[in-house]
A and B are shown apart, each in its own frame.
Chain A
Amino acid sequence: MAILHSPQYSSDQTRIIKLPIGSKTFLEGPAGVGKTTIGVERMLHLMDTGVSGNTILVLVPQRTLGTPYIQAMNLPGVVAGGMVSVLTHSGLAQRMVDLFWPLVAGPAGFARPEEQPVFLTLETAQYYMAHLVRPLLGQGYFASLTMDRNRLYSQIIDNLNKAAVVGFPCQEIGDRLKTAWSGEPGQSKVYEEAQACAALFRGYCLQNNLLDFSLQIELFWQHLWKSELCQQFLIRSFRHLIVDNIEEDVPITHDLLADWIPQAESSLVIYDSQAGYRRFLGADPVSAYHIKELCDQNFSLTTSFVPSQEIQSLSVYLRGALARNPAPKPKIDPRPAIVHETHTYYPQMLDWIAAQISQLIDDEGIAPQNIAVLAPFLSDSLRFSIVNRLANRGIPVKTHRPSRSLREEPATFCLVTFAVLAHPAWGIIPTKFDVAHSLMQAIAGMDLIRAKLLTDIVFRIRAGIPTLSPFEQIIPTTQERISYVLGEKYERLRLWLAEYQQASPGELDHFISRLFGEILSQAGYGFHTDYDKGQVAANLVDSIRKFRRVVGNTLLETGVDMGKEYIQMLNDGVIAAQYMPAWKAQTEQAVFIAPAYTFLTNNYPVDVQFWLDIGNRSWSERLYQPLTHPYVLSRNWPGDKTWTDSEEVETGEQVLSSLVYGLLNRCRKRIYLGLSEYNEQGYEQRGPLLQAFHHILQGLAEG
């Protein structure tokens, strides 16, 4: 069965796709030269020539990068047979830990090897970190830092993860950070405290069979891969390896591949020669490149199929300007590839962007999915501002994450408020505002005025217990104002809550599921046929259930009510702050709004890119992270060297140049520059990217 998708492959591409089955190949080149296309077609070619799909492992640094492989496999033209596994290193590690847990739990130092492992998500890991670190904060830990507590917890977790993926003992985190530090001496104490917290967390995990990301990776690499049973199982199961975007993967993955490739029947390793955008997540293009030495065939592709000549010219100009390099300029004028307009205020710039996108779709026929709106960081308010403007014009939008965090959703607010009312023993008292808004969400047709009126009358706090009184006790004229129809619905809800209180309380997820199913999603209530609210409620139940299943036993031992604890953690922002559903209903035919790095690591080209806020220094500067350091905690940093300002500046320039190159390699036609004199916060900014554009345009204007 012929399976090549397109007859337009170059001879190089066809040659690589059709290499003999036993080949071990290294393929490199910049974005846009068709490397992933080759990977996908190679996978299909292997299957077409008799290799069973279930013996092929496609390894990618993040799940989204596996999408082209999965989509290709799902097409009817693909030969019948086993399914290819498309996994990340961590996905593979989790599956192996789960399968071989009885073999390694004891040797790895878990205190209760006979019990099941508990896999921690980011939010439950953060919960446990908060649980352990909070008392230390009271003792003066991190007293010199002014930062959000959740960021503090996440940076300690980040350090553990870096140690695992780079491959050094987690006991060395503090020393590595201290050695590289050249600023105020007080910072050394902060690093020592960060080290102590990491050690405390690791010890707690081992004591309680908890597996955070770092422990999963370490368990897999240090125990499972070294177990003959597990290693042979993997090598026999997956005899063919296709590794895409290896430069975005972490050193421990490269170590794994260095062991595995010589034992595999075939391999294709794909390397983007100008990337490595996930360095802040531990990506290491240097160690990735060493894999080339293990391959018997090397190919380098250079002809890009994506950017226009003007965009390619702009790329050369821009990188020259950023490097302050007077190298010869291309003959092609890049200006047709740049559209820009300066505005005084930020909202004006956003209006302009929305208008331009609308015009591109309506007048030029550019499909929404071929447009990306990019910024160095995307705050909730900025995302809302753009989404709202585009929605008003009927333009579909997808963002890199749900528009709002789970805890900020009105449906969550409503469900949690009723949970609090139904569990007075928790001692949490909702405000009248909370109750009125929840009634408005819960009962179809209930407007804010009537909800407030009803709440003012029925909601009381008696002896510290919040209560709702019956509708029938309201005087008839007010009943009429609220309406009997709404009153009846309120009464059914109130009686349901009262009946629940009479019985012994159940689990919080059970309560929410019942309230949703038996009342709020029934006809006449606010969640009935509201698919979005159903989705939010499902995510909430899912989050609570995972929380219960992970921390339930710990709380039981300490006598803390799980439901109360969940709600307190929710309010503190420890959990459900950025809850990602497993499947998010986002249309693919939509304008993509994302931070620039998210767009790069999703790795697909578009016709037009909008770059927002190019005066912002965040295009080149890294986040303020006082407890961690992505460059120091890497394999390439000499252990005895100090990180100085010149390294900071040099790294920033390299990062910006690489970012610009990556974005332009994923743009076919034009770049729109969103310029405003004052940024979102009202400050004037003139970062290096803005200066580089000024330099280019001025130079071209002067001829």
Chain B
Amino acid sequence: MSLPRGFIFSQSSLQDYVDCQRRFQLRYLLHQKWPAVEAEPYLENERRIDQGSKFHQIVHQHLVGVPENEIKISIANDEVLEAWWNNYLHSIRDGVLASIQLDNNPHFEELTLSAPVGDFRVLAKYDLLLCQTDGKWLIFDWKTSENHPKRKWLANRLQTHIYPYILSKAGACLGGGEAIDPDLVEMIYWFTNFPEQPERFSYNQASYNDDLRTISSLIAAIDQKTEAIFPLTPDTRRCLYCTYRSLCNRGVEAGDIHHLEEWLEPDAPDELRIDFDQIGEIEF
């Protein structure tokens, strides 16, 4: 199966391919919905996803200028969100996020950049990009997982490679036409539950070249695939939290969210996000 013209890759889709090729095929090539339970307890999983989305939203609101007191009122009935919000405020005033409000550094929130890689494009959606006065670019990514993931695990995630790569490749438009030097890029994961323990990953030209090779070869490999059914992951633990488990004959019941490995922060399934596109189609 060769990829359709105009197919766009993201860190999520490429990570899915690396984790389980069949999952990538079902999700991104066939657009196959398969509504089994992702994780139990069902409502707790939904609540966690909602809180993660809401945190991203309130930070976005804060960064575009909605007053803090108005935001605080809007989350007053959610203790978890309130704690995350307080952690964020503390970090932005005195902690590791202080540079965001320093010297009126230009920042871009919820920004999507894309760049061609071979015959396709790869996009990256950033929670926050910040350009410091010394010319350094910081990529912030908010993580709302209950546990702090291991640094090694984060280092291996494609997000840690794709985000700095795409910024270096496509960020010229943000800096007045000047290409962004990979040596001036840093990726920072900030954890709502561990505000003083961010994970920082510096970047450089050698990493950029390595990442280009990795991403290009992944995309080329996907484009050259011809199997009707892509291979299933050898790690069957993943299937516990994958809705396609019955389609692949890989289990019956969903895994318990409390046993979910600390690094497996659930992605918000499309149907749980506010589906603006669905609303947008309403023409009364």
Does B256 sit within 8 A of A, measured CB to CB? no
Chain B nearest CB, measured from A695 CB (Å): 35
Instruction: Assess the B32–A534 pair: CB atoms within 8 A.
Output: yes
A76-B121, A281-B283, A535-B32 are contacts. A522–B61 as well, Cβ < 8 Å?
no
Does A592 sit within 8 A of B, measured CB to CB? no
Closest chain B residue to A165, Cβ basis: B284
Instruction: Assess the A538–B35 pair: CB atoms within 8 A.
Output: yes
Instruction: Assess the B121–A74 pair: CB atoms within 8 A.
Output: yes
Instruction: Assess the A512–B281 pair: CB atoms within 8 A.
Output: no
A101-B74, A114-B76 are contacts. A81–B275 as well, Cβ < 8 Å?
no
Q: Which of B6, B32, B108, B281 contacts A75 (CB 8 A)?
A: B6
Instruction: Assess the B31–A585 pair: CB atoms within 8 A.
Output: yes
Instruction: Assess the A102–B70 pair: CB atoms within 8 A.
Output: yes
Does A316 sit within 8 A of B, measured CB to CB? no
Chain B nearest CB, measured from A128 CB (Å): 14
Does B95 sit within 8 A of A, measured CB to CB? no
Interface size on A, residues (CB 8 A): 79
Instruction: Assess the A76–B114 pair: CB atoms within 8 A.
Output: no
Pick from A62, A233, A514 the residue with the most CB of B within 10 Å: A514
Instruction: Assess the A83–B246 pair: CB atoms within 8 A.
Output: no
1/0 per residue B1-34: CB within 8 Å of A? 0000111100000000000000000000011111
Instruction: Assess the B246–A517 pair: CB atoms within 8 A.
Output: yes
1/0 per residue B244-284: CB within 8 Å of A? 01110100111000000000000000111011111111111
Q: Which of B65, B76, B275, B277 contacts A233 (CB 8 A)?
A: B65
Q: Which of A81, A113, A541 contacts B170 (CB 8 A)?
A: A81
Closest chain A residue to B282, Cβ basis: A122
Does A481 sit within 8 A of B, measured CB to CB? no
Closest chain A residue to B5, Cβ basis: A75
Closest chain A residue to B248, Cβ basis: A529
Chain A nearest CB, measured from B46 CB (Å): 8
Does B107 sit within 8 A of A, measured CB to CB? no
Instruction: Assess the A516–B66 pair: CB atoms within 8 A.
Output: no
Does A528 sit within 8 A of B, measured CB to CB? yes
Instruction: Assess the B275–A582 pair: CB atoms within 8 A.
Output: yes
Q: Which of B64, B116, B274 contacts A119 (CB 8 A)?
A: B274
- Which residues between 34 and 76 of chain B lie within 8 Å of chain A, taking CB atoms? 34-37, 42-43, 57, 60-61, 64-67, 70-71, 73-74, 76
Instruction: Assess the A542–B243 pair: CB atoms within 8 A.
Output: no
Closest chain B residue to A528, Cβ basis: B246
A514-B37, A522-B246 are contacts. A52–B174 as well, Cβ < 8 Å?
yes
A82-B113, A534-B33 are contacts. A76–B66 as well, Cβ < 8 Å?
no
A102 to B272, CA, bound (A): 22
Chain A nearest CB, measured from B6 CB (Å): 4
1/0 per residue A68-81: CB within 8 Å of B? 00010111111011
Chain A residues near B245 (CB-CB < 8 A):
517
A50-B177, A52-B173 are contacts. A517–B35 as well, Cβ < 8 Å?
yes
Instruction: Assess the A76–B173 pair: CB atoms within 8 A.
Output: no
Q: How large is the interface on B (under 10, 10 to 19, 20 to 34, 35 or more residues)?
A: 35 or more
Instruction: Assess the B274–A510 pair: CB atoms within 8 A.
Output: no
Q: Which of B35, B108, B275 contacts A534 (CB 8 A)?
A: B35
Closest chain A residue to B76, Cβ basis: A114
Does B118 sit within 8 A of A, measured CB to CB? yes
1/0 per residue B108-119: CB within 8 Å of A? 100111111111
Instruction: Assess the B173–A229 pair: CB atoms within 8 A.
Output: no
Does A507 sit within 8 A of B, measured CB to CB? yes
Does A313 sit within 8 A of B, measured CB to CB? no
A517-B36, A521-B247 are contacts. A510–B42 as well, Cβ < 8 Å?
yes
Chain A residues near B73 (CB-CB < 8 A):
102, 113-114
Q: Which of A154, A513, A546 contacts B42 (CB 8 A)?
A: A513
Closest chain A residue to B124, Cβ basis: A83
Chain B residues near A83 (CB-CB < 8 A):
112-114, 123
Chain A residues near B272 (CB-CB < 8 A):
545
Chain B residues near A80 (CB-CB < 8 A):
113-116, 169-170, 172-173
Chain B nearest CB, measured from A335 CB (Å): 38
Chain B nearest CB, measured from A51 CB (Å): 8
Instruction: Assess the A233–B278 pair: CB atoms within 8 A.
Output: no
Instruction: Assess the A76–B118 pair: CB atoms within 8 A.
Output: yes
Does B120 sit within 8 A of A, measured CB to CB? yes
Q: Which of B35, B243, B280 contacts A88 (CB 8 A)?
A: B280
Chain B residues near A582 (CB-CB < 8 A):
270, 275, 277-278
Chain B nearest CB, measured from A540 CB (Å): 8
A529 to B115, CA, bound (A): 36
Does A685 sit within 8 A of B, measured CB to CB? no
Closest chain A residue to B111, Cβ basis: A54
A75-B6, A102-B66, A213-B282 are contacts. A510–B57 as well, Cβ < 8 Å?
no
Q: Which of B37, B65, B249 contacts A517 (CB 8 A)?
A: B37
Instruction: Assess the A580–B36 pair: CB atoms within 8 A.
Output: no
Chain A nearest CB, measured from B202 CB (Å): 22
Chain B residues near A581 (CB-CB < 8 A):
33
Chain B nearest CB, measured from A117 CB (Å): 10
Instruction: Assess the A541–B271 pair: CB atoms within 8 A.
Output: yes
Instruction: Assess the B280–A90 pair: CB atoms within 8 A.
Output: yes
Instruction: Assess the A99–B64 pair: CB atoms within 8 A.
Output: yes
Closest chain A residue to B74, Cβ basis: A102
Does A30 sit within 8 A of B, measured CB to CB? no
Q: Which of B61, B117, B249, B276 contacts A102 (CB 8 A)?
A: B61
Chain A nearest CB, measured from B229 CB (Å): 10
A49 to B260, CA, bound (A): 48
A77 to B245, CA, bound (A): 38
Instruction: Assess the B116–A77 pair: CB atoms within 8 A.
Output: yes
Chain B residues near A116 (CB-CB < 8 A):
74
A53 to B121, CA, bound (A): 14
Instruction: Assess the B60–A99 pair: CB atoms within 8 A.
Output: yes
Instruction: Assess the A121–B279 pair: CB atoms within 8 A.
Output: yes
Chain A nearest CB, measured from B119 CB (Å): 5
Chain B residues near A517 (CB-CB < 8 A):
35-37, 243, 245-246, 252-254
1/0 per residue A495-517: CB within 8 Å of B? 00000000000110010111011
Chain A residues near B8 (CB-CB < 8 A):
74
- Which residues between 74 and 124 of chain B lie within 8 Å of chain A, taking CB atoms? 74, 76-77, 108, 111-121, 123
A73 to B123, CA, bound (A): 11
Chain A residues near B282 (CB-CB < 8 A):
90, 121-122, 213
Chain B residues near A62 (CB-CB < 8 A):
281, 283
Closest chain A residue to B32, Cβ basis: A531
Instruction: Assess the A545–B271 pair: CB atoms within 8 A.
Output: yes
A531 to B278, CA, bound (A): 22
Instruction: Assess the A50–B173 pair: CB atoms within 8 A.
Output: yes
1/0 per residue A463-507: CB within 8 Å of B? 000000000000000000000000000000000000000000011
- Which residues between 209 and 256 of chain B lie within 8 Å of chain A, taking CB atoms? 243, 245-247, 249, 252-254
Chain B residues near A121 (CB-CB < 8 A):
278-279, 282
- Which residues between 130 and 176 of chain A lie within 8 Å of chain B, taking CB atoms? 154, 157-158, 161-162
Closest chain A residue to B277, Cβ basis: A582
Q: Which of A87, A103, A529, A585 contacts B247 (CB 8 A)?
A: A529
6 nearest A-B residue pairs (beta carbon): A517-B36, A538-B33, A52-B173, A80-B115, A80-B170, A161-B284
Chain A positions within 8 Å of B, measured between CB atoms, are 47, 50-54, 62-63, 71, 73-78, 80-83, 87-88, 90-91, 94-95, 98-103, 113-116, 119, 121-122, 154, 157-158, 161-162, 213-214, 229, 233, 278, 281, 506-507, 510, 512-514, 516-518, 521-523, 528-529, 531, 534-535, 537-542, 545-546, 580-583, 585
* A to B CB contacts below 8 Å, 22 in the list: A51-B173, A54-B173, A63-B281, A78-B116, A80-B169, A81-B170, A82-B113, A91-B279, A99-B60, A100-B66, A102-B71, A103-B66, A115-B77, A214-B284, A233-B64, A513-B35, A517-B252, A534-B35, A538-B34, A541-B271, A546-B275, A583-B31
Beyond A98-B57, A233-B64, list 20 extra A-B contacts (CB 8 Å): A63-B281, A74-B6, A74-B121, A80-B115, A80-B169, A80-B170, A83-B112, A90-B279, A90-B280, A95-B276, A102-B71, A113-B73, A114-B76, A119-B274, A121-B282, A513-B36, A534-B32, A538-B34, A538-B35, A538-B271
